[in-house]
C-alpha cells in the first residue's frame, strides 16, 4: 500500500469475546512479518485476558479499524517498582498491510493519553511509558524513536541447538537438589522474589500473586531445579523451566524454555546457577522437548 494516511481509520472500544479472532489474525500477521516466533489463537487470548489483574477492558484497550476490518490494537498495563516508580507498558500491533498509514501513531497517542490518565488517578510522583520491542520490529522501533522513546535496556534470547551434549556440572558443596513438594511452593516463591530485589524494574509481590503464579501455564514444578542450602535449610537457587505446548503445537516444534533463574544473594558466584541450568536442560531432555 502507498505511504499515505487513512481517511477512514477510526478507534473503538474493545468488544470482548467477539474481537479475539480478529485480534489473533492481526497479531499473527505481525509475528510472521517481524520474525517474532509466536502464534496466537483466539482461545489463548481468551485465557490470557481472563487472567489479567488491575485491568479495565473498557478503558485499557482500544481497537483500530478501517471500515469494518480490524487493522490494529493496543492495550496498557502498569506496575509500581520497588522505588515507587509507576511503569506503564504497552502491547500493540498493526497489521503489516496497513503500516506507514498513521495507524501506529494513532494508537500510540491513545495509549499515552490513557497512561497519563492512570498516572493522575494514582497520584504517581513519577511515571514512565515503557515499551518492549523485539529486533524484528524495525518499523515500530523507528516510530517510537520519533516519538521521543529511547533504548534503556537490552535483552538477549539465546537458544541451545541440541541437548545431546549437556555437560556434567557438579552441585557446589553445601547445596542439594530436592524434588518440589506442595509445602515448598511458598518458600520457592518468596526466595525468588527476594533474590530479584534491586533488579531493574522489579515490582514487589502483590496480594494474590502467589496464587496466580500457581495457576499460570508456566507453572510446571515437575521440571524445576531447586537447590537448598543444607546448613540453613533455605532455598538458595532455582531454575523453573517450562514447555509451552500450545506454541510448540501451533508451530510444529519441540522446544523447552529455561527461565525464571535466580540465586539468593548469600550464595552467588559459586557456580550454583550454572549447575541448575544444566540440570534444567536435562529435564527438557527427559520430557523429550528438543529445541527446534
Looking at per-residue pLDDT, the higher value among 108 and 159 belongs to 108
- On whether the CB atoms of residues 61 and 14 are closer than 8 A, the answer is yes
Same domain, 87 and 179: no
Query: Does residue 185 lie in a domain region?
Result: yes
Q: Which of 21-25, 210-214, 223-227, 287-291 has the lowest mean pLDDT?
A: 287-291
Question: For the residues 129-136, what does the mean pLDDT come to?
Answer: 93
What is the layout of strands, in order, in the sheet containing 261-263?
A: 175-177, 225-229, 234-239, 261-263
Q: How sure is the predictor about 170, in pLDDT bands with cuts at 50, 70 and 90?
A: very high
Confidence of residue 4 (pLDDT cuts 50, 70, 90): low
Distances (CA, A) of 185 to 104, 107, 139, 256, 260: 42, 40, 42, 22, 14
Q: Per the structure block, which three cell numbers stand in for 246? A: 500450545
pLDDT value, residue 203: 86
**Residue range 213-231, pLDDT digits in tens:** 999 989 999 999 999 999 9
Per-residue pLDDT at 101? 94
Q: Is there a single domain that holds both residue 93 and residue 191?
A: no
Q: pLDDT band for 291, please (50, 70, 90 cuts).
A: very low
Largest CA distance in the chain: 69
Answer yes or no: do 28 and 67 share one domain: yes
Q: What percent of the chain has pLDDT over 70?
A: 96
Residues 26 and 105 in one domain: yes
Q: Are residues 214 and 130 in the same domain?
A: no
Q: Are residues 234 and 132 part of one domain?
A: no
Q: Count how many domains the chain has.
A: 2
What's the mean pLDDT in 194-203? 89
DSSP output for 182-229: GGGHHHHHHHHHHHTTTSTT--PPPTTHHHHHHHSTT--GGG-EEEEE
- Is 139 in the same domain as 179? no
Domain that holds residue 100: 9-146
Tell me: do 182 and 136 sit in the same domain.
no
Average pLDDT over residues 189-202: 92
Asked whether residue 168 is domain-assigned, the answer is no
- Report the chain's mean pLDDT, rounded to a whole number: 92
Same-domain pairing of 23 and 106:
yes
Q: Say which residue the cell 498493526 belongs to.
A: 94
With respect to residue 159, please indicate whether it lies within any of the assigned structural domains.
Answer: no
Is residue 215, in this structure, part of any structural domain at all?
yes
d(CA 141, CA 189): 35
113 and 233 housed in the same domain? no
pLDDT in the model for residue 188: 98
Mean pLDDT is lowest, of 38-52, 105-119, 160-174, for 160-174
pLDDT at 1 over 50: no
C-alpha span between 187 and 227 (Å, rounded): 12
- Residue 249 banded pLDDT, cuts 50, 70, 90: confident
Among the candidates 126, 146, 166, a domain finishes at: 146
Side-chain half-sphere CA neighbours of 209 within 13 A: 11
In Å, how far are 89, 110, 149 from 124, measured between CA atoms? 15, 20, 20
Closest listed residue to residue 285, CA positions, set 186, 166, 169: 166
Residue 87 has pLDDT above 60, yes or no: yes
Name the strands in the sheet holding 127-131, side by side, starting at the edge strand that comes first in the sequence. 9-13, 61-66, 69-80, 86-94, 127-131
Could you tell me which residue, 2 or 76, shows the higher pLDDT? 76
Residue 50 contacts residue 16 (beta carbons within 8 Å): no
Give me the CATH number covering residue 248: 3.40.630.30
Least confident segment among 109-123, 176-190, 197-211, 267-281: 197-211
**Contacts of residue 267, Cβ cutoff 8 Å, sequence gap at least 6:** 175, 229, 236, 237
Please report where in the chains the cell 525464571 appears, as a residue: 260
Q: Is the pLDDT of residue 286 over 80?
A: no
**Does a structural domain hold residue 93?**
yes
- Same domain for 140 and 192, yes or no, is no
Residue 54 maps to a domain: yes
Q: Which residue has the higher pLDDT, 210 or 82?
A: 210
pLDDT of residue 64: 98
Q: Would 2 be classed as within a structural domain?
A: no
**Chain CA centroid to CA 241, Å:** 14
- Same structural domain, 142 and 184: no
The answer as to whether 170 is a domain residue is no
Q: What is the mean pLDDT of residues 153-165?
A: 85
Asked whether the whole model's pTM tops 0.95, one would answer no
Amino acid at each position: 500500500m502507498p505511504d499515505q494516511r487513512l481517511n477512514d481509520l477510526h478507534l473503538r472500544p474493545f468488544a470482548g469475546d467477539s474481537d479475539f479472532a480478529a485480534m489473533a489474525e492481526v497479531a499473527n500477521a505481525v509475528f510472521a512479518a517481524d520474525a517474532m516466533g509466536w502464534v496466537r489463537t483466539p482461545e489463548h487470548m481468551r485465557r490470557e485476558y481472563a487472567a489479567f489483574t488491575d485491568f479495565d477492558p473498557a478503558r485499557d484497550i482500544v481497537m483500530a479499524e478501517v471500515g469494518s476490518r480490524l487493522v490494529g490494537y493496543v492495550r496498557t498495563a502498569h506496575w509500581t517498582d520497588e522505588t515507587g516508580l509507576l511503569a506503564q507498558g504497552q502491547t500493540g500491533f498493526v497489521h503489516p498491510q496497513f503500516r506507514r498509514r498513521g495507524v501506529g501513531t494513532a494508537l500510540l497517542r491513545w495509549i499515552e493519553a490513557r497512561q497519563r490518565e492512570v498516572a493522575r488517578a494514582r497520584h504517581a510522583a513519577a511515571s514512565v511509558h515503557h515499551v518492549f520491542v523485539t529486533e524484528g520490529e524495525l518499523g515500530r522501533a523507528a516510530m517510537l524513536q520519533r516519538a521521543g522513546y529511547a533504548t534503556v535496556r537490552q535483552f538477549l534470547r539465546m537458544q541451545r541447538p541440541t541437548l545431546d551434549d549437556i555437560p556434567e556440572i557438579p552441585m557446589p558443596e553445601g547445596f542439594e537438589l530436592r524434588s518440589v513438594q506442595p509445602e515448598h511452593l511458598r518458600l520457592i516463591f518468596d526466595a525468588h522474589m527476594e533474590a530479584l530485589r534491586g533488579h531493574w524494574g522489579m515490582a514487589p509481590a502483590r496480594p494474590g500473586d502467589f496464587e496466580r503464579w500457581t495457576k499460570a501455564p508456566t507453572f510446571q514444578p515437575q521440571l524445576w531445579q531447586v537447590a537448598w542450602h543444607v546448613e540453613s535449610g533455605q532455598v538458595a537457587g532455582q531454575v523453573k523451566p517450562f514447555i509451552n505446548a500450545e506454541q510448540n503445537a501451533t508451530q510444529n516444534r519441540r522446544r523447552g524454555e529455561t527461565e525464571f533463574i535466580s540465586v539468593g544473594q548469600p550464595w552467588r558466584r559459586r557456580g550454583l546457577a550454572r549447575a541448575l541450568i544444566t540440570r534444567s536442560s536435562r529435564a527438557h531432555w527427559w520430557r523429550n522437548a528438543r529445541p527446534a
